[in-house]
Structure 1
Amino acid sequence: MPEHQDQIVANFNPFSKLSMPTTHQFIFEPLIIFNTLQNNKPEYRLAVHYRLDKDLKGISFTLRKGVKWSDGTPFTADDVLFSFSLTKQRPDLDANAIYQWIDYVEKRGSHEVYIKLKKPNALVAYTLVLQPIVPKHQWENVKDITTYTNAHPIGTGPFTEISHMDDEEYVQCANPYYWQADQRHIDCLRYPKVSNNEEFIRRIANGEFDWSGSFIPDIDRRYASFSPNFKYWLPPASNISIMFNFKTANPEIRDVFSNVQFRRAVSMSIQRQLLIDIAAFGQGEPSRYASGVSPQFKTGLIRSAQKNTCRS
């Protein structure tokens, strides 16, 4: 399951920009994953429920019981409380600007956490679940989190055990205490180093990888045609946009750029299909909507709108 990676380094620190791609979710699970491909349906992980206050100034997370860290230590609200406190104490760790919303975080029992907000926010759950949740009993002893590589991670995710690591690949194996082990159907993940796109295309065409994600030009000819077992999927979330800079100090040109008819003419002159054929080897289709939303979202958006209409 490769991505482009110039070097393999034993860095599994979820607060580090240099951590390996299998750090998040495979080792450190979030409270919730909001599935963007299913209208942000909540997929509950370390949490089993969340509830917003009526005034939208607070949110409660009910945590999953029976979860253990990969060293056998029980997962509790103390771990969540501690994890949020790290980013409060170290703003440089707050990569998702979570604390711009948080007033305070408190524990309400062994498996519930309440977060008081500085101001109302109906969508704050989507931001808060980006907070990495780490084991307090390990990380409270870390002196410098920014330089800590966490080479021997302790997590709650499905694959936490680093069984092999060298310059060319690493192998990440099953968490012996994973709470959803019955849903895990493989024992280990092998993550090889792939330095560039040409190497990736050559190796995936040779059948070296079971699962990966990357752009393959002319994918039917250069990949799918080699074997009936070579499958691919294009997600609806990929958009390529051309943004024009209409800002100028010249008042005459600025007037032209501000003219709606001129902007429409520019838009109509762009040969969208030609751009797709050249730049993306025909993989894609022109957007039919001013919003830029991919046509592949059409079915899901219609269902969502119908559901909301029925509720109202």
Structure 2
Amino acid sequence: MMKKLSPVIEWFTLLFCTGTVLSFLVVILYDLVVKGWSTLSWRFITALPTQGMTRGGILPAITGTITLTLVTALVAVPLGIGCAVYLNEYAPDNWMTRLIRGSIRNLSGVPSIIYGLFGLALFVQGMGMGTSMIAAGLTLGLLSLPYIISTTEEALRRIPASTREAALGIGATQFESIRDVVLPSALPGILTGVVLTLSRAAGETAPILFTGVAFYITGSSGFLNQEFMALPYHLYMLSTQHQSIEEVRPLAYGTALVLIIVVFLLNLTAFYIRYKHSNND
């Protein structure tokens, strides 16, 4: 048998691994901030792209990302929370339920590009939606479902059984107990999982690559039945596929910085919800 490491060695090992990961993160963020800060301005955020995206701003990409995230939330959040409530509160503990839970966990590990190909086959071609915002939003909704179901079910499990029994003991039905007692108690955990999942979806490129995103749109971006611009794909094109990569490199760093700020704000919202809930407790 292997000898157990002393607590001091375990602590220093954990500290070293954490510091190593954080050092890489700090270097990457420092490089993005230094090279992208000069590009970041109010005009860059609010202006339309011009001259084949070699000049101007990224407003359509920002509005497209925000709209796409909202569509994803409308698709994934109600369905994901509903599935989690059924699995945790109503479904019997049998082989079928365990199989469903195992399938959900497996879906969480499927590469995002597979979801993109599935969305292309189902929504773009099969349902005739074409490359559009709604097709991309539905695809990202499917990608987000396993995460929302898992985090919501975990939040529901944290509510003691005595809470449910107390509600039932005063005459509430099971539905009323879930609606008025269990869900409000689990809401901070549910919202934290939802926000973190949506922040991940906002940074995805592969699923929207096949379903509706475009690099350069001269008109408005954000209608559900049209192609749209989005920050992650825009960054990918500026960094790797543009005909004047050196010329647009500052725009690429500025776009990356804006995308990181958007994702950071979403994650900060999740942390604030968790912090506020812990203080209330």
Structure 1 and Structure 2 fold alike (TM over 0.5): no
Between Structure 1 and Structure 2, the one with more strand by share is 1
Between Structure 1 and Structure 2, the one with more helix by share is 2
TM superposition score category, shorter chain reference:
under 0.3
Q: Which has the higher contact order (CA 8 A, sep 6+)?
A: 2
- After TM superposition, the score normalised by the length of structure 2 is 0.24
Larger Rg: 1
